[in-house]
């Protein structure tokens, strides 16, 4: 996914990788859009409450957060990129 986002390859928007926001680190972040993108793997199973609290805090900072499973990125990258668009 980073290959698609880096170097302004995605609609000329600059994305950062591993961007810190308060106590959290976003997988990908675009400051111009106030958009964060998170990729979740199996380590997130059973941590729904923590993930919801984290997402709530991030969105309270004015950042729209999109979450995708790793498997979605591997199997349907075009669909994930369309959802980000």
Q: What is the pLDDT of residues 50-68, one digit of tens each?
A: 888 999 999 999 999 999 9
Per-residue confidence (pLDDT) for residue 30, from 0 to 100: 97
pLDDT band at 79; cut points 50, 70, 90: very high
Per-residue confidence (pLDDT) for residue 45, from 0 to 100: 61
CATH number at residue 62: 3.40.960.10
- What's the pTM? 0.88
CA separation for the pair 81, 62 (Å, rounded) = 22
CA separation for the pair 16, 18 (Å, rounded) = 7
**Tens digit of pLDDT for each residue in 8-48?**
999 999 999 999 999 999 999 999 999 999 998 766 566 77
Q: Containing domain of residue 52, as a range? A: 2-84
Task: Label residues 13-35 b or e (16+ Cβ within 10 Å = b).
Answer: eebeeebeeeebebbbbbeeeeb
Per-residue confidence (pLDDT) for residue 51, from 0 to 100: 83
Q: What is the count of structural domains for the chain?
A: 1
Q: In what order do the strands lie in the sheet with 35-40?
A: 16-21, 24-30, 35-40, 64-69
């Amino acid at each position: 996914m980073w290959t698609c986002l880096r170097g302004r390859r995605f609609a000329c928007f600059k994305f950062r990788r591993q961007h810190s926001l308060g106590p959290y680190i976003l997988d990908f972040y675009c400051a111009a859009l106030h958009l964060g993108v998170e990729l979740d793997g199996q380590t997130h199973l059973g941590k729904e409450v923590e993930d919801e609290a984290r997402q709530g805090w991030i969105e309270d900072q004015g950042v729209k957060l999109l979450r995708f499973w790793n498997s979605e990125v591997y199997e349907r990258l075009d669909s994930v990129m369309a959802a980000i668009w």
